[in-house]
């Protein structure tokens, strides 16, 4: 090599193989995401969450007031909301599974498969929600809130009378 040629500032003395970072969320090597399989695999997390929730409740009793109390209360509320959302997802999954089994049974009997439209699926979910509310005797309060909300929306669209 000639001494007159300048050496590049970032010269590569030893060739280094660059590590390729891969994101398992978008990589085909990780497989396809299936919520049912994920929930079964990580079932132990529910036990850990329950223990953490009990711990937060104990700390909440210890701290009766102040900023720490508010933080713990928000944390507990978030935990409860996550738990409710998980139960709702599980209920939805069970409903889908029941429909799938019903379709399979009909196919076994020789009927052609019938797939529900999105609107029909929403109606089934709504009917299930109403049954649940009726069982827990919260249907009246739910309907009254819904009526008030709809009345407010209707009032917004009415023309203003400034006579």
* pLDDT tens sequence across 52-93: 999 999 999 998 888 999 999 999 999 999 999 999 888 888
Q: Are 155 and 147 in contact (CB under 8 A)?
A: no
* pLDDT tens sequence across 83-97: 999 998 888 888 888
User: Is residue 79 domain-shared with residue 68, that is, in the same domain?
Assistant: yes
Q: Is residue 99 part of a domain?
A: yes
pTM: 0.63
Using a 10 angstrom Cβ sphere, with 0-12 exposed, 13-18 middle and 19 or more buried, the burial of residue 99 is middle
Rounded-to-integer distance, Cα 75 and Cα 57, Å? 10
Q: Is residue 146 part of a domain?
A: yes
List C-alpha distances in Å: 62 to 9, 12, 72.
62, 61, 11
User: Is residue 54 domain-shared with residue 70, that is, in the same domain?
Assistant: yes
User: Is residue 60 domain-shared with residue 97, that is, in the same domain?
Assistant: yes
Q: Is residue 14 part of a domain?
A: no
User: Is residue 88 domain-shared with residue 41, that is, in the same domain?
Assistant: yes
User: Is residue 101 domain-shared with residue 135, that is, in the same domain?
Assistant: no
Rounded-to-integer distance, Cα 75 and Cα 55, Å? 11
What's phi and psi for 145, nearest 5 deg? Answer: -65, -45
Per the structure, the complete domain to which residue 147 belongs is given by 116-151
Q: Are 63 and 55 in contact (CB under 8 A)?
A: no
User: Is residue 86 domain-shared with residue 39, that is, in the same domain?
Assistant: yes
Which of 89-93, 111-115, 156-160 is the least confident region?
Answer: 156-160
Q: Is residue 106 part of a domain?
A: yes
User: Is residue 48 domain-shared with residue 92, that is, in the same domain?
Assistant: yes
Q: Is residue 12 part of a domain?
A: no
Using a 10 angstrom Cβ sphere, with 0-12 exposed, 13-18 middle and 19 or more buried, the burial of residue 139 is middle
User: Is residue 89 domain-shared with residue 49, that is, in the same domain?
Assistant: yes
- pLDDT of 39 strictly over 60: yes
User: Is residue 86 domain-shared with residue 132, that is, in the same domain?
Assistant: no
Q: Is residue 38 part of a domain?
A: yes
Rounded-to-integer distance, Cα 112 and Cα 115, Å? 10
Q: Is residue 57 part of a domain?
A: yes
What's phi and psi for 97, nearest 5 deg? Answer: -65, -40
Quickly list DSSP for 50-115.
HHHHHHHHHHHHH--SSHHHHHHHHHHHHHHHHHHHHHHHHHHHHHHHHHHHHHHHHHHTTPPP-P
List, in order, residues 6 or more apart from 92 with CB less than 8 Å away: 125
- Please count the structural domains in the chain: 2
* pLDDT tens sequence across 3-38: 788 877 887 777 778 888 888 888 888 888 888 888
Q: Is residue 2 part of a domain?
A: no
User: Is residue 89 domain-shared with residue 134, that is, in the same domain?
Assistant: no
List, in order, residues 6 or more apart from 103 with CB less than 8 Å away: 113, 114, 115
User: Is residue 71 domain-shared with residue 124, that is, in the same domain?
Assistant: no
């Amino acid at each position: 090599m000639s001494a007159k040629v300048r050496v590049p500032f970032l010269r590569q003395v030893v060739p280094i193989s660059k590590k390729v970072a891969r994101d398992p969320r978008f990589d085909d090597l990780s497989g396809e995401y299936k919520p049912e399989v994920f929930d079964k695999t990580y079932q132990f997390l529910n036990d850990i969450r329950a223990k953490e929730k009990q711990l937060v409740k104990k700390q909440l009793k210890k701290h009766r007031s102040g900023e720490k109390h508010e933080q713990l209360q928000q944390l507990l509320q978030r935990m409860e909301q996550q738990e409710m959302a998980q139960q709702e997802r599980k209920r939805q999954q069970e409903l889908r599974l029941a429909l799938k089994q019903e379709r399979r049974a009909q196919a076994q009997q020789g009927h052609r498969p019938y797939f529900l439209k999105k609107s029909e699926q929403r109606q089934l979910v709504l009917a299930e929600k109403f049954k649940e509310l009726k069982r827990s005797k919260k249907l009246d309060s739910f309907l009254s809130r819904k009526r008030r909300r709809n009345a407010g929306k209707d009032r917004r669209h009415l023309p203003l009378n400034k006579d």
